[in-house]
């Protein structure tokens, strides 16, 4: 039986964190190509360091983006984040582009041909998770960690808190009793700030944001409220630490509350099951919990490169289910085509909707009018109930 009383911690990083800058640039390039060709193939990796932006990877598109368009899109992403610093500036940073044509060997395995359906873009395992401890059906620690930083960024960009700079991290620890979060025991926020701001002043600027996000859970004890524990955080972003695409996969998903298959999302078009199948697994897990089949649901999918069907579907309710997991494993296959093509069609993923996913989590967001975050819908509830005969 799962533990009922414990402390659990998750962390988040802001859109200005060096790795998140890279995720944002990579996903911006994905969007650029998908806007030109909905079936474009993109695998874009980004490196950033002091006034340097470097792109590498593989692309294939019926209407390729020009080198000028790629550079303009990358610089615009950095500008939107807010970097106009001496050590990292959207206009002055040196830009290098090493994107090249996709490997013919990979294309052969993925493309549909004759009686062969489109295959998965790679082998791997993907996990989806949902839990009914928040309205978003997300684990509370990662949800609140994201919300703290998202609100800080909104205040910075609006001009209400010009003291903040783009780079920031958060960490939230909650106490669980009877399996539910009941109180916050510690919070850590480290935020880059303007030169000359005293540490005590930064602390007081952060305090009301944290209090609002935590709401009825309440603030942690004063001695467990840590803001910029090292005292000063002026040099940050890629100037303070090099960034790479795909290094914040636990931040991107469930904050450690569920397993992760290991594949990053950002920079990949939706033929890559690292991304699309992880979205499908979250979509299915969320609908399973919304249907009332369990309080917690974990779904694992597995794929082989070039093979269209999933090799396995696994469901775990952690002892909270009202029906047998095997029954739901069968129902899942009935209500959704889990081939790469089927996932992309069902969730309408061949669109430029990915730059917005690069910070503050790929899950727990509101579905958007243009189809962004379509995997957060709960429109499979009735179909699942019918397939499970419940």
Q: Which of the following is catalytic: 161, 193, 272, 275? A: 272
- 169: annotated binding-site residue? yes
Q: Which of the following is catalytic: 11, 15, 20, 265? A: 20
For residue 241, indicate whether it is catalytic.
yes
Q: Which of the following is catalytic: 24, 41, 156, 169? A: 169
DSSP letters along 151-194, please?
A: HHHHHHHHTS-TTEEEEEEEEEEEEEETTEEEEEEEEEEEEEE-
Q: Which of the following is catalytic: 45, 118, 269, 295? A: 45
Q: Which of the following is catalytic: 36, 58, 89, 304? A: 58
Q: Which of the following is catalytic: 41, 60, 268, 346? A: 268
- 316: annotated binding-site residue? no
For residue 20, indicate whether it is catalytic.
yes
For the packed helices 273-290 and 340-347, what is the interaxial angle rounded to 10 degrees? 60
Of residues 244, 390, 249, 377, the one with CA closest to residue 324:
390
Whether residue 37 contacts residue 175, with contact meaning beta carbons closer than 8 Å, is answered with: no
Q: Which of the following is catalytic: 75, 146, 161, 248? A: 248
For residue 169, indicate whether it is catalytic.
yes
For residue 150, indicate whether it is catalytic.
no
For residue 45, indicate whether it is catalytic.
yes
Whether residue 237 contacts residue 87, with contact meaning beta carbons closer than 8 Å, is answered with: yes
- 269: annotated binding-site residue? no
For residue 346, indicate whether it is catalytic.
no
Of residues 198, 232, 245, 349, the one with CA closest to residue 17:
245
- 272: annotated binding-site residue? yes
- 45: annotated binding-site residue? yes
Q: Which of the following is catalytic: 156, 247, 356, 362? A: 247
- 232: annotated binding-site residue? yes
CA distances from 61 to 38, 40, 71, 101 (A): 9, 5, 17, 9
Whether residue 157 contacts residue 192, with contact meaning beta carbons closer than 8 Å, is answered with: no
Q: Which of the following is catalytic: 35, 56, 76, 242? A: 242
For the packed helices 325-335 and 273-290, what is the interaxial angle rounded to 10 degrees? 120
- 203: annotated binding-site residue? no
Q: Which of the following is catalytic: 88, 164, 225, 233? A: 233
- 248: annotated binding-site residue? yes
For residue 248, indicate whether it is catalytic.
yes
Q: Which of the following is catalytic: 37, 118, 274, 376? A: 274
Q: Which residues pair with 120 in a beta bridge?
A: 305
For residue 74, indicate whether it is catalytic.
no
Query: 365, exposed or middle or buried, with CB in 10 Å at 0-12, 13-18, 19+?
Result: middle
Query: 231, exposed or middle or buried, with CB in 10 Å at 0-12, 13-18, 19+?
Result: exposed
Q: Which of the following is catalytic: 8, 11, 17, 27? A: 17
- 241: annotated binding-site residue? yes
For residue 19, indicate whether it is catalytic.
yes
For residue 242, indicate whether it is catalytic.
yes
- 96: annotated binding-site residue? no
- 379: annotated binding-site residue? no
- 268: annotated binding-site residue? yes
- 309: annotated binding-site residue? no
Rounded-to-integer distance, Cα 137 and Cα 93, Å? 40
- 171: annotated binding-site residue? no
Known binding residues for Mg(2+): 19
Known binding residues for L-methionine: 58, 102, 241, 272
Q: Which residues are catalytic?
A: 17, 19-20, 45, 58, 169, 233, 241-242, 247-248, 268, 272, 274
Known binding residues: 17, 19, 45, 58, 102, 167-169, 232-233, 241, 247-248, 264, 268, 272
Known binding residues for K(+): 45
């Amino acid at each position: 039986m799962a533990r009922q009383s414990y402390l659990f911690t998750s962390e988040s990083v802001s859109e200005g964190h060096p790795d998140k800058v890279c995720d944002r640039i990579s996903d911006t390039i994905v969007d650029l190509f998908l806007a030109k060709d909905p079936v474009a193939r993109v695998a874009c990796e980004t490196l950033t360091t002091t006034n340097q932006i470097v792109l590498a990877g593989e692309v294939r598109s019926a209407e390729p983006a020009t080198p000028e368009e790629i550079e303009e899109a990358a610089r615009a992403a950095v500008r939107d984040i807010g970097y106009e610093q001496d050590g990292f500036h959207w206009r002055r940073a040196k830009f290098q582009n090493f994107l090249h044509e996709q490997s013919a060997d990979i294309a052969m395995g993925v493309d549909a041909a004759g009686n062969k359906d489109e295959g998965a873009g790679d082998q791997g395992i993907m996990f989806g998770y949902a839990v009914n401890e928040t309205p978003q059906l997300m684990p509370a620690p990662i949800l609140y960690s994201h919300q703290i930083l998202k609100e800080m960024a909104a205040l910075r960009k609006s001009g209400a808190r010009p003291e903040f700079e783009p780079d920031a991290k958060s960490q939230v620890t909650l106490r669980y009793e009877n399996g539910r979060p009941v109180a916050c025991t510690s919070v850590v926020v480290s935020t880059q700030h303007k030169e000359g701001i005293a540490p005590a002043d930064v602390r007081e600027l952060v305090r009301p944001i944290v209090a609002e996000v935590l709401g009825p859970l309440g603030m942690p004890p004063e001695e467990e409220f840590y803001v910029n524990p090292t005292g000063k955080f002026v040099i940050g972003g890629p100037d303070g630490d090099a960034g790479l695409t795909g290094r914040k996969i636990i931040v991107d998903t469930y904050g450690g509350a569920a397993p992760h298959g290991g594949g990053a999302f950002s920079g990949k078009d939706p033929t890559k099951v690292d991304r699309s199948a992880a979205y499908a697994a979250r979509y299915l897990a969320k609908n399973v919990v919304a249907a009332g089949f369990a309080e917690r649901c974990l779904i694992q999918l597995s794929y082989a490169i070039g093979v269209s069907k999933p090799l396995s579907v696994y469901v775990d309710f952690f002892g909270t289910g009202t029906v047998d997991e095997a029954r739901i494993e069968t129902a899942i296959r009935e209500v959704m085509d889990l081939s790469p093509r089927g996932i992309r069609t069902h969730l309408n993923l061949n669109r430029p909707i990915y730059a917005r996913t690069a910070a503050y989590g790929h899950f727990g967001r509101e579905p958007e009018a243009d189809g962004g975050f379509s995997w957060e819908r709960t429109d499979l509830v009735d179909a699942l109930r019918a397939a499970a005969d419940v």
